[in-house]
Amino acid sequence: MTWIDWSVVVFVVVASIAAGTAVVRLSSRHGAVSYFTSDRNLPWWAIAISNTATYQSGNGGFVMLMLLFGLASNWIWWASWIIWMPLVAIVWAPMWRRMRIITTAELITLRYGGRPAVVARKIYALVCCFGFSVLLIGYITGFFAKTIAPIVRMEEWQILLIFGGTTALYTMFGGLMGVVVTEILHFVILLAASIAFVLIAIPQHGGLPHILETIRVTRPEALAQTPPVIAASPGNSIDLITVAFLVLQGFFFAGSPTAGEGSTAQRFMAARNEGHAIAGQLFNCFLALSVRILPLIGIGLIALTLFWPAGLLGKPEGMVVLDDPAHAWRKSLRAASCRLALWAC
């Protein structure tokens, strides 16, 4: 990395801390209600952008899916998301706002009450806080550290200390409002960087017609936009049964701690009213399912012309075989997902 790259990193870190800590007074004005729910005054657009920003950690994974399965790979996650996201808007978003609670655990008290609620809260804390939050955050931060370590040439613990410390700082001092403000900043930076990367990279690889023609010659099934996808290797194919099960999963995912509950629910609890909660989730659907994905599709198309999954036979001359996942993240998506994740951390 050059001094320009480091300047960008320093700018994002400083801007994140400044944005998150600038709202300390607002987050402490009325105690816990201000800290955890921002005085229940979040507008719909802030709810949407903030929630969409929480999904950005998976951008590199979406590009890798395209490399493995082609354009239709988006259905591997779309299939469940197009079900649970509207369901959350219709059912969960207004419900969370209507109850006027601060934490999801309070729902258990309202629902059961007494001794059963105490037992249920303990089970919920064990399963959701450890089974979902700790493991999920551990996976994401570990993925983040491993992917950018070759770029910044730092140890993984140093990366986690710097960027994890930055996150903890503005979260502790700024509360929910601090998190929302910084997430909006990160979303804008990451989306702009993704678009800029695609606009710069496509001409460098011969233009979009050349990229599509290269894919059409080497892996024509990768241009299929809907399942089923039948590739030379079963490991790079997508069948309709898989998609059907993912659609079914979407109905259950709407109430999971990583969808209709957890951090998503916290934004709904902080909405100005039920209308803002519903509108925020609907706009979140639009941003998460389409806007943020468009530049990633462009990055994925470029990756399809440069790299070759190890499971496929007949590698064209000049392409790099990816048989080691660590190698794949470091090399194939190095400039795409890793650096963008670094900019938005």
Q: Report DSSP letters for 119-143, one per residue.
A: HHHHHHIIIIIIIIIIHHHHHHHHH
User: Mean pLDDT over residues 56-66, rounded?
Assistant: 79
Q: Give the pLDDT score at 123.
A: 87
Give the up-direction half-sphere exposure of residue 324: CA atoms within 13 A in the CB hemisphere: 4
Say whether pLDDT at 326 is over 70: no
- Please, are residues 54 and 335 in contact by the beta-carbon 8 Å criterion? no
**β partners of residue 321:** 308
User: Mean pLDDT over residues 67-71, rounded?
Assistant: 88
Share of the chain above pLDDT 70, in %: 88
pLDDT band at 234 (very low <50, low <70, confident <90, very high): confident
Say whether pLDDT at 325 is over 80: no
Say whether pLDDT at 65 is over 90: no
- Please, are residues 28 and 34 in contact by the beta-carbon 8 Å criterion? yes
For residue range 94-135, list pLDDT tens digits in order. Answer: 999 999 988 878 888 888 888 888 998 888 888 877 777 777
pLDDT band at 331 (very low <50, low <70, confident <90, very high): very low
Q: Give the pLDDT score at 342.
A: 40
pLDDT band at 339 (very low <50, low <70, confident <90, very high): very low
Share of the chain above pLDDT 90, in %: 29
Say whether pLDDT at 324 is over 50: no
Q: Which domain holds residue 204?
A: 3-344
Number of domains in the chain: 1
312 DSSP assignment: S
